[in-house]
């Protein structure tokens, strides 16, 4: 070069640039994203013991007994008699002749469908080869659907002989809700734990957790688990509403016009039935092992917190989707500054779905404590009402409902105490690993 001058340009253009940019300086001081990913620590999981859990068949037996008992109690509220009076013309506690047997058949068919399906599957799958199970399950659902629909149409035809035609909408209303939630799929009608598909219609399968170090694999796993959780919640809400609707609401809609009953008590009974079914379905569809699977995925997913009011000169990296970020890492994403708060962070900064998933399942014992509080409040409320009740049918009704709620409260309290101890010990281990 003329005059021995050094060329300060890094490109072929005439514009001169320095040898090192600010990005090069940050890489030299704080490492590349690959170096950051190497600092990330994989979470350590504490195994959850195998707790007793009802099989689908056992649960359907319990649920059918509970809903059938609730239906009987609602009919008792409507058609109770005064058999103890000397001038009474009946010797029974209920005026059974006022109850429409076809209405009872319609309600019973809706409530017993899953128990029959679960029993048939239990018998068929026990005596057939494993390779034929998927086909036989579809055939059983198809056969049972034809039988159930035939029975419902036959009962509805006889009901409408003595009822206004407009009342048919009371019987068929949940069908429209079912099509809105599940479309033309048959399996949710018969199986509360039917395996879902994602929004693209792909089969997900049984929820599982894989301790992966690939950020994309972790995010895909979380998306599948989130879809499965939402589908289960949708099934829980629909099933509990359906049971309460037919066990508590339909008997009141088809009561004779001359029958006088306590509207407040019937509505209260309907509410208690719905809450009881809701918590029973929650315990069955979200067992401890399932919650632990979501918890482990949440630990790998991590969480980002937006940094507000900080200097823009803080040493940061540009967030990369292929990097597993360590705790305390600072990144820029969509012109915002975020700090990694999880021991391992594969989440996308600013993604509300990832943030909610981590917040809910980072410590499932908090969620379980809320359910314990709900169930305990329900039991205490029923006890208070029972103490204040004076009518014999009210005492019978609340006593029977309390027995079912005691069982659910026991399982929730057991799950909460075990999870609380396990996740408390696990949090101490994570803090030591993260240098907290």
Name the pLDDT band for 125 (thresholds 50, 70, 90): confident
The 10s digit of each residue's pLDDT in 261-294 is 889 999 999 999 999 999 999 999 999 999 999 9
Give the contacts of 243 (CB within 8 A, at least 6 positions apart): 63, 67, 70, 111, 273, 274, 277
CA distance 344 to 41: 6
Residue 397 · residue 73 · CB < 8 Å = yes
Predicted TM-score (pTM) of this structure: 0.85
The 10s digit of each residue's pLDDT in 165-179 is 888 888 888 888 899
Q: What percent of the chain has pLDDT over 70?
A: 83
What's the chain's length in residues?
436
What stretch of H or E contains 37? helix 33-39
CA distance 390 to 387: 8
List the domain boundaries for the chain: 22-51+303-351, 56-279
Q: What is the pLDDT of residue 30?
A: 43
Partners of residue 197 on adjacent β-strands: 203
Burial class (CB in 10 A: 0-12, 13-18, 19+), 185: middle
Name the pLDDT band for 415 (thresholds 50, 70, 90): very high
- Best-predicted range by mean pLDDT among 103-117, 153-167, 309-323? 103-117
CA distance 167 to 165: 5
Q: What is the pLDDT of residue 202?
A: 41
Residue whose entry in the numeric block shows the structure tokens 């109690």: 73
The 10s digit of each residue's pLDDT in 374-396 is 999 999 999 999 999 988 899 99
């Amino acid at each position: 070069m003329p005059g021995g001058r050094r060329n300060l340009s890094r490109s072929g253009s005439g514009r001169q640039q320095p040898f090192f940019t600010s990005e090069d300086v940050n890489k030299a001081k704080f490492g590349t994203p690959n170096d950051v990913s190497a600092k990330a620590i994989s979470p350590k999981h504490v195994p959850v013991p195998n707790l007793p859990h009802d099989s689908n068949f056992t649960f359907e037996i319990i649920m059918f007994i509970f809903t059938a008992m609730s239906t009987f109690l609602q009919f008792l509220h409507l058609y109770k008699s005064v058999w103890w009076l000397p001038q009474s013309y009946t010797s029974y506690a209920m005026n059974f002749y006022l109850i429409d047997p076809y209405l009872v058949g319609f309600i019973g068919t809706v409530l017993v469908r899953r128990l029959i399906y679960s029993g048939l599957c239990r018998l068929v799958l026990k005596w057939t080869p494993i390779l034929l199970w998927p086909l036989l399950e579809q055939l059983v659902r198809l056969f049972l659907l034809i039988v159930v629909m035939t029975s419902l149409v036959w009962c509805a035809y006889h009901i409408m002989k003595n009822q206004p035609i407009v009342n048919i909408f009371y019987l068929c209303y949940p069908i429209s809700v079912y099509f809105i939630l599940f479309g033309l799929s048959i399996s949710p009608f018969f199986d509360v734990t039917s395996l879902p598909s994602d929004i693209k219609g792909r089969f997900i399968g049984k929820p599982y957790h894989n301790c992966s170090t690939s950020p994309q694999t972790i995010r895909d796993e979380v998306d599948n688990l989130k879809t499965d959780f939402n589908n289960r919640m949708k099934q829980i809400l629909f099933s509990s509403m359906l049971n309460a609707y037919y066990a508590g609401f339909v008997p009141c809609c088809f009561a004779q016009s001359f029958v006088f009953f306590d509207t407040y008590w019937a509505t209260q009974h309907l509410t208690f039935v719905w809450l009881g079914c809701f918590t029973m379905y929650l315990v069955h569809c979200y067992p401890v092992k399932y919650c632990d699977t979501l918890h482990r995925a949440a630990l790998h997913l991590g969480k980002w917190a937006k940094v507000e009011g900080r200097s823009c000169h803080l040493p940061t990296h540009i967030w990369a989707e292929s990097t597993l970020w360590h705790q305390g890492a600072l990144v820029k994403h969509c012109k915002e500054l975020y700090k990694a708060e999880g021991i391992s962070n594969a989440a996308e900064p600013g993604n509300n779905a990832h943030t909610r998933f981590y917040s809910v399942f980072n410590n499932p014992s908090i969620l379980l404590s809320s359910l314990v509080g709900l169930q305990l409040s329900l039991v205490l409320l029923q006890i208070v009402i029972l103490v204040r009740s004076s009518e014999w049918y009210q005492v019978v009704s609340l006593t029977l409902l309390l027995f079912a709620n005691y069982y659910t409260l026991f399982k929730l309290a057991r799950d909460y105490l075990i999870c609380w101890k396990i996740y408390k010990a696990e949090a101490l281990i994570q803090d030591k690993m993260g240098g907290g």
